[in-house]
Amino acid sequence: MRKIGLVAMAALLGLASVAPGCSNEDGNGDDGDAGGSGIDAGGDGTDGGGGGGMDATVDGDGGTGLDGAIFGEAGFVEVDGGILLPDGAIVACVQAECQGRLYLCGNCLDDDGDGLSDSEDPDCLGPCDNSEDRLDPAIPGIGEQCTRDCYFDQDSGDGNDDCSYDLPCDPLSPGSRPANPTCPYDDRRTCETEQSAACLDFCGPLVPNGCDCFGCCDIGGTGDNWVFIGSVPETGQPACTVEEALDHNYGSCRRCTPNMDCFNDCGRCELCLGRDPATIPADCFPPPPPSDAGVPRDDAGNPIDAGPRDAGTPTDAGPPPPPRCEDDRQPCGLPTDPACPGGYYCLTGCCIYFG
């Protein structure tokens, strides 16, 4: 569920579009564009994954590559919104751009080689995320700023989102390393926590379940494991991952205090960062339809004409289960969920529109 503090907030995410292209400027992904290793375009189709990680690539020389897509001088070979495999099969994959740029979490590839691509990878937080191997978005220009804007968009300025929060206002100093106190806590600072309606309208829909607008997230959804997902440890290189946070490695993932004025909590029936889907209660899902007893038959197996069948007294199925997603958004991310439609991205269990 979403909590927006003192100002009412509107619906869902909005900020990128689906595009067929998959080329970048230098092809290696190091400049913030959508490069990558071309590993495993498998998945369940929620935002671009295919079905199960097919082992079939062809590199520019026609040889066998890693797992996933076809490469050549022209980039990927795309057919009918999918990626063509050497055996003629098409892996359903819709790439998702972030304001005209294609980043690693929207390119349909398993760039970190963990067998999960894009929205299936727990360290991907939307198409405006250029890193599958950690929670830091790795977007050029976003560094260790002491004043944060909306963490989940594609830039580091507040001009387009009107969100602003000073990390030195947090007593836990999530933006400061002991050996390099970049943004230490300052108890003399006047700290404003209330965010504007413009911030809530723009950034609120982009925030994953269990996070505030500035990257402080309760990993696992337990209510007591708040970490700043943009943490920079003593090495100077961002290293916070969902796994590290679940292991309570607070060297890689520094503790933080959430800003509850611009916040999306982890609801009882919601998928959240690091939450095991098996912990979602059974009553969060609709009951299965009643089984059909079929046509009555005699001992020889012949149908018996018993006339109209009495359906009996209807039973009260009880109230419907609570929604897994707010604002009529389509649930996603579980094996029984349908894929998100084109233009949407599966983020913590809900199809989010980036357009």
Distance from C-alpha of 311 to C-alpha of 44, rounded to nearest angstrom = 39
Higher pLDDT, 92 or 231: 231
**pLDDT score, position 137:** 86
Phi first, then psi, for residue 226 (nearest 5°) are -80, 120
Nearest to 190 by CA among 168, 209, 217: 168
Nearest to 60 by CA among 31, 27, 16: 27
Q: Which range in 4-13, 29-38, 202-211 is most confidently predicted, on average pLDDT? A: 202-211
* Contact assessment for residue 21 and residue 95, using Cβ atoms and an 8 Å cutoff: yes
CB atoms within 10 A of CB 63: 8
Distance from C-alpha of 187 to C-alpha of 337, rounded to nearest angstrom = 47
CA atoms within 13 A on the CB side of 39: 14
**pLDDT score, position 275:** 92
Residue 25 has pLDDT above 50, yes or no: no
Q: Which residue has the tokens 């002491």?
A: 146
**pLDDT score, position 220:** 94
User: What are the start-end ranges of the E strands in 253-327?
Assistant: 263-264
Mean pLDDT computed over 297-314: 66
* Contact assessment for residue 58 and residue 71, using Cβ atoms and an 8 Å cutoff: yes
Under DSSP, the state recorded for 79 is E
Residue 188 buriedness (CB in 10 A; 0-12 / 13-18 / 19+): exposed
* Contact assessment for residue 32 and residue 138, using Cβ atoms and an 8 Å cutoff: yes
* Contact assessment for residue 217 and residue 262, using Cβ atoms and an 8 Å cutoff: no
**pLDDT score, position 144:** 61
Residue 246 has pLDDT above 90, yes or no: yes
Global pTM reads 0.67
**∠166-169-173 over CA atoms, to 5°?**
100
Output the average pLDDT for the chain.
72
